[in-house]
Structure formats: structure tokens, C-alpha cells
Amino acid sequence: MTPGAVKLGCSGWDYAEWVGRFYPRRGVEDRLRHYAGVFPVVEVNSSFYHLPTLRTVESWARRTPAGFRFTAKVPQEITHDRRLQDVEEPLRALRSAFKPLVHAGKLSAFLVQLPPSLSFHEEEVRAFYRRMAGDVPVAVEFREESWLSEASFALLEEFRFAQVVVDEPKLPVILRNTAPFAYVRWHGHGSPLWYDYTYRGEELSAWVPRVRELQARSSLVLGFFNNHFRADAPMNALELSERLGLSPPPWTGRLLPADLPGPPSGRDAPG
């Protein structure tokens, strides 16, 4: 199998604390346009809290290059409030909201992040997966140990949903392909907030063979850094991209951490 492409980015782009380190100190009028000039993909994290309007999603499609891609997090109403039950209406709303990206060929996946209080029940999960299945690929992030069972992985394989490979304090890193594509999220290991964390150089180097292993078995690897404090997410995403030898998006010039505004990324500094 020919190794698939690897596309790395961040969970979101509209963070005030990124100004001066990722965004220029003088600010930029369009943060998404600037972000898309550096990365090939972004994860829409805000949709977990509220769905964007059609006009907003249309503008995302219009303001980004043709080859740029999005993924979108499924609303908490579906995963945390309704706990995967009676989700037909909010699923219709989700699909309707993101139609402009689907029509533009820019939506690569929906991300289902499960609540840590929800345990695995096979028939309930099967019913939800059946409703979730559609034209947009799906990735599922486990947050509770009972989901790390053979029955759970078998369901992902049956529906061709990707198991999200997560780097976080409570669950192990599991490099298991359950779909044609792979999905990775780096949350960090901060305390008390996981996301308040800077990945050190040796930690990023340890991820190189893991990403290569996923790449060898996938048509596409999507990876997102969620440690947004201090603009650590874009800095770490760029550092890992460099260590993997990834080319910058074809619509940009070469952009490496040293080319960006602000202080150096501190690749080998303690996190």
C-alpha cells in the first residue's frame, strides 16, 4: 500500500493569545486566511458548543484555498446531553450547517468526542453509528476505558469509522486503523488543564515513527494539536511537520517555526 498523505493542523484558529507568536503582533484582519496560509487543515472545535450559521460556513469555504480542508466536532448536544440517544434532529442540523463545506469538497471528517462518563454498550453504539454514517467520514474519540474493547473496535471497522489516536493523560496511545484514514489529536499533559502544555522536542520526535506507522496503513492521516495556550498548538504542529519532513501546502511559500513572528518555539525547552 502506498503511504497516504499527512496533514497536520490545530483544533481551532481564533485564539487571541496566538497574536504575537503565530499571528503578527500588529494583528491580522482575517485569522482564518492567515492560518490557511500556513496549514493545510483545521479542526472546527467551536461546533461542539454551538453550530455555525450557513453564512459563516460559506465564508469559511470562500476564504480558504481550494486544497484546504476542515474537520468538524459533533455538538455536545449529541454526545454529552443526549448521550447518543434520539439524535436524528441535531444530526440533521449538523449536516445542514456544514453543507457549504461538503459542496466545496472541503469537509474531511466529523469528529465524535465521547463524554468520559459514558460507557460502551454495543447495541446503543451500533444504533448511533448507523445514524451517524453518511457521505462524510467519521472519527470517534474515546474518553472511557470500556470503549477500548474488541467489540468497540469491531464496530468502528464495520462502519469504517476511524478510532481517534489520542495523546492525553488518562488513556493509552493505541495505533489501530479501523478506517481508510487515520485521525490523531494531541491534547497535552498539563495539570490541571491537559491543554496547557508545551510538547518538548523529544516528545515530538517520539511521534514521528507513530505517525509513519499510521501513514503506512492509511490513505490519509489527519492530525490536530489542541494545546492552544500561548500558541503552543501551531508551534508544535509546525515542529512535528518539520520533523516528519512534510512539505508546506502547495499554495504557500515555505513556512517553518523560525519564519513566524514572536519568540523562538523553544523546541527543547521543558513543557
Q: Domain containing 202 — which CATH number?
A: 3.20.20.410
CB 52 within 8 A of CB 46: yes
Q: How many distinct structural domains can be found in the chain?
A: 1
* Domain assignment present for 98: yes
* Domain assignment present for 269: no
Residue 19, Cβ density class (10 Å: 0-12 exposed, 13-18 middle, ≥19 buried):
middle
Q: How far is it between the farthest Cα atoms of the chain?
A: 54
Residue 154: which H helix or E strand, with range?
A: helix 150-159
Q: For residue range 38-57, list pLDDT tens digits in order.
A: 999 999 999 999 999 999 99
* Domain assignment present for 267: no
The pLDDT value given to residue 252: 85
Mean pLDDT of 134-145: 98
Distance in angstroms (rounded) separating the CA atoms of residues 185 and 136: 19
* Domain assignment present for 265: no
Q: For residue range 65-108, list pLDDT tens digits in order.
A: 999 999 999 999 999 999 999 999 999 999 999 999 999 999 99
Q: For residue 151, is pLDDT > 60?
A: yes
Q: How confident is the model at residue 253 (pLDDT cuts 50, 70, 90)?
A: low
* Domain assignment present for 270: no
The pLDDT value given to residue 27: 79
The pLDDT value given to residue 257: 42
* Domain assignment present for 216: yes
Share of the chain above pLDDT 70, in %: 93
Domain holding 102, by residue range, is 5-259
- Residue 42: strand pairing partners: 10, 70
* Domain assignment present for 268: no
* Domain assignment present for 143: yes
Single-letter code of the amino acid located at 250 = P
What are the strands, taking DSSP E only, across the chain? 5-11, 41-44, 69-73, 107-113, 138-141, 162-167, 181-186, 220-225
